[in-house]
Amino acid sequence: MTLMEPVSCCGPLAAPGLSDAEATATADLFKALADPARVRIVNVLATSGEPVCVCHLTEPLGLSQPTVSHHLKKLTDAGLLEREQRGRWAYFSLRRQAVEKLSSVVEITAECCC
C-alpha cells in the first residue's frame, strides 16, 4: 500500500538496552499476572486495605483450595505478595515494593512511547 524508502529496509536500531536477564525478569513479573485467578487475587488484595486470609479467596474465585494455594504461591514467589501466619490461618497482602516496580516498568515504556 504505502510506498516509502524503497531502497533499504530501515535505519540502524537504537541501543539494545535490555539484557537477557532483565527481559526474563520482566517477563516473569508479567507472567505472574497472566492468569485471571491471579488478577482477581491481586484485585481483592488491592481493594481490601487489610491482609486477606485464604479462606476468603477460595469461594469468590470458584476454584479448589489447592489451586488457590498454588496461585498464591506463584504470586508470592514473584515477590508480589506477602504471607503472614495468624494462628491457623494464612493472611496475604500486596507488597508495595513489587507493585511499585511493576508500575515503573510500565511507566518507562509509556514515556518512550507517548
Partner DNA sequence: TCGATAGATTGACGGACATCGATATGAGGA
Partner DNA sequence: TCCTCATATCGATGTCCGTCAATCTATCGA
Q: Which residues of this chain interact with a second copy, rule CB under 8 A?
A: 1-6, 9-11, 13-18, 20, 23-24, 26-27, 30-31, 33-40, 42-48, 50-53, 55-56, 60, 84-87, 89, 91, 94, 96, 99-100, 102-103, 106-110, 112-114
What's the DSSP call for residue 82? E
Q: How far is the CB of 52 from DNA (least distance, A)?
A: 9
Residue 73 touches which of DNA, a second copy, none (Cβ within 5-8 Å per kind): DNA
State the DSSP string of 98-110: HHHHHHHHHHHHH
What's at 49, amino acid-wise? G
Residue 77 touches which of a second copy, DNA, none (Cβ within 5-8 Å per kind): none
CB 78 within 8 A of CB 28: yes
C-alpha cell recorded at residue 63: 476454584
Q: How far is the CB of 111 from DNA (least distance, A)?
A: 25
Which of 12, 17, 49, 87 touches DNA by CB under 7 A? Answer: 87
Q: Which is nearer to a second copy, 73 or 100 (CB)?
A: 100
What's the DSSP call for residue 95? -
CB 30 within 8 A of CB 23: no
Q: How many CA atoms lie within 13 A of 101 on its CB side?
A: 15
